[in-house]
Amino acid sequence: MGKRQVKNESALKEIRLPETDEEMFGRVIKMLGGENLLVKCQDKIVRRGRIRGKLKRRVWIRDNDVVIIAPWTFGKEEKGDILWRYTLSQVEWLKQNKHIPLDF
């Protein structure tokens, strides 16, 4: 078996913005355990987010991190998938370029 290559955050220097109308910015409120967490989205709705398998072991997500969430279009509960996590310097860049509000 080969070793799995885990990328660190310095390897992820590009900044990804929400690409579709369904994707939006959110801030992590609380870790629920496993791959689930509570996220307060830009539209003021608190959703239960699920960390996608692609990000699960590559990027660690903590409380108060800014993420991109894609809400599910099916089901009764408000849920969504976490697509991306921003570093602190990337959040400052987003605020300076007015992609997110200053008090976000």
pLDDT digits (tens, 9 = 90+) for 65-89: 999 999 988 876 689 999 999 999 9
How far is the C-alpha of 98 from the C-alpha of 91, rounded, in Å? 10
Res 5 pLDDT > 50: no
Percent of the chain with pLDDT over 90: 53
**Judging by DSSP bridges, how do beta strands 46-51 and 79-85 pair with one another?**
parallel
Whole-angstrom CA distances from 54 to 6, 58, 62, 82 are 11, 7, 17, 10
Query: What CATH architecture is 22-50+61-80?
Result: Beta Barrel (2.40)
pLDDT at 39: 96
Query: What is the pTM assigned to this prediction?
Result: 0.79
